[in-house]
């Protein structure tokens, strides 16, 4: 069992009720709240358990109260079972307090058929071999006395264009963007639950604007729409962009493709610049 599978494992304890453990290795700040994409994948594993539909097709999470590392309960409600799709709601609960509410459509992305027409340009990433292993780079900097990377950053093997993480050292690109190539470091095949974590696996794209007023950027809502199962081997290619900060609210739009260039997912979150 891979690290990802282990840390998102759920055990059915009753009708529509699951037990899970929120692992502290997926935090965005050491000792702080778990990453929103990780929480989404954890809930999705419970949400699909009662279904014949293995893949999230669209999944929305509303983050209510930051969860703590440790035991959590996931309550799953199958709202509608159809032939092609099932609609499911879920709640992550700790100490009787709801932390995350989710609403999703599940289907079988191995069975899709229908028109295909992609009018989006390919992601403009440099070749993989020209990118930087930013996980190793961040760990080396931490060993040399720098700020350690967020725990979740170490859960992935990253390859990024050299300019994408420069904001952490005072060299932002000047645009609200972040991205690169990403896969599980232990070679675990990437599946559609893993894609949910990838949709939220980077520091906020808005950090690359270089706006010095920015601090914590908590997510209010994250929606991931999946189109295909990824080629399980190779890296996913990603791009996340923030183009509209207004009144402290911002969107972050993501596009995820697999090693074959197939569109795997579009994501969008609404986040708030904490005051």
Single out the residue of 14, 15, 80, 124 in contact with a copy of itself (rule: CB under 8 A).
Answer: 80
Q: Does residue number 103 form part of the binding site for a copy of itself (CB under 8 A)? A: yes
Single out the residue of 3, 12, 17, 175 in contact with a copy of itself (rule: CB under 8 A).
Answer: 175
* C-alpha to C-alpha distance for 20 and 26, rounded to whole angstroms: 14
Element (H, E) at 195: helix 192-198
- Which among 183, 168, 195 is positioned nearest to 255, based on CA atoms? 195
Q: How far is the CB of 252 from a copy of itself (least distance, A)?
A: 11
Helix, strand or coil, per DSSP, at residue 185: coil
| CA distances, 224 to each of 53, 94, 156 (Å) | 17, 24, 19
Contact 89, 59 (CB under 8 A): no
- Which among 36, 17, 21 is positioned nearest to 77, based on CA atoms? 17
Q: Does residue number 137 form part of the binding site for a copy of itself (CB under 8 A)? A: no
Q: Does residue number 68 form part of the binding site for a copy of itself (CB under 8 A)? A: no
Query: Applying CB under 8 A, what is the total number of residues that bind a copy of itself?
Result: 53
Q: Does residue number 136 form part of the binding site for a copy of itself (CB under 8 A)? A: no
Contact 200, 37 (CB under 8 A): yes
Element (H, E) at 6: helix 3-7
The DSSP bridge partners found for residue 90 are 76, 102
Single out the residue of 3, 12, 62, 141 in contact with a copy of itself (rule: CB under 8 A).
Answer: 62
Q: Name residues contacting a copy of itself, limited to 213-242 (CB under 8 A).
A: 213-214, 220-221, 223, 225, 227-228, 242
Nearer to a copy of itself, 113 or 143 (CB): 113
Look up residue 201 and give its two tokens: 């696996």
| Cα dihedral 35, 37, 38, 41 in deg (nearest 10) | 160
Please choose, out of 27-35, 113-121, 138-146, 182-190, the segment that lies near a copy of itself by the rule CB under 8 A.
Answer: 113-121
Nearer to a copy of itself, 56 or 149 (CB): 56
Q: Name the region of 248 (left: φ>0; alpha: ψ -120 to 50; beta: rest).
A: left
Look up residue 244 and give its two tokens: 């509209």
Single out the residue of 57, 178, 198, 199 in contact with a copy of itself (rule: CB under 8 A).
Answer: 57
Q: Does residue number 40 form part of the binding site for a copy of itself (CB under 8 A)? A: no
Please choose, out of 19-27, 108-116, 127-135, 178-186, the segment that lies near a copy of itself by the rule CB under 8 A.
Answer: 108-116
Look up residue 233 and give its two tokens: 């081997």
Stretch 243-272: interaction string toward a copy of itself, x if CB under 8 A: xxxxxxx-x-----------x--x-x-x-x
Which residues are at the interface with a copy of itself (CB under 8 A)? 57-58, 60, 62, 64-65, 79-80, 85, 87, 89, 98, 101, 103, 105, 109, 112-120, 175-176, 209, 211, 213-214, 220-221, 223, 225, 227-228, 242-249, 251, 263, 266, 268, 270, 272-273, 275
């Amino acid at each position: 069992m891979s690290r990802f599978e282990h840390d998102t494992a759920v055990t059915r304890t009753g009708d529509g009720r699951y037990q899970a453990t929120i692992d502290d290795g997926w935090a965005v700040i050491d000792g702080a709240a778990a990453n929103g994409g990780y929480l989404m994948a954890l809930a999705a594993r419970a949400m699909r358990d009662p279904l014949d539909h293995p893949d999230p097709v669209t999944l929305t999470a509303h983050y209510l109260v930051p969860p703590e590392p440790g035991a959590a309960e996931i309550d799953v409600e199958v709202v509608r079972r159809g032939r092609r799709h099932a609609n499911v709601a879920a709640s992550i609960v700790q100490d009787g307090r709801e932390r995350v509410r989710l609403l999703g459509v599940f289907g079988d992305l191995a069975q899709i058929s229908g028109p295909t027409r992609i009018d989006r340009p390919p992601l403009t990433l440099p070749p993989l071999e020209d990118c930087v292993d930013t996980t190793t780079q961040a760990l080396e900097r931490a060993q040399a006395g720098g700020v350690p990377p967020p725990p979740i950053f170490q859960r992935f093997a990253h390859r990024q264009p050299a300019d994408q993480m420069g904001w952490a050292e005072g060299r932002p690109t000047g645009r609200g963007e972040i991205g690169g190539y990403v896969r599980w470091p232990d070679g675990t095949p990437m599946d559609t639950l893993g894609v949910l974590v990838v949709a939220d696996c980077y520091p906020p794209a808005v950090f690359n604007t270089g706006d010095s007023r920015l601090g914590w950027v908590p997510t209010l809502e994250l929606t991931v729409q999946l189109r295909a199962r990824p080629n399980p081997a190779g890296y996913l290619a990603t791009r996340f962009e923030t183009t509209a900060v207004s009144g402290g609210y911002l969107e972050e739009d993501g596009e995820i493709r697999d090693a074959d260039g197939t569109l795997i997912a579009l994501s969008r979150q609404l986040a708030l610049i904490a005051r």
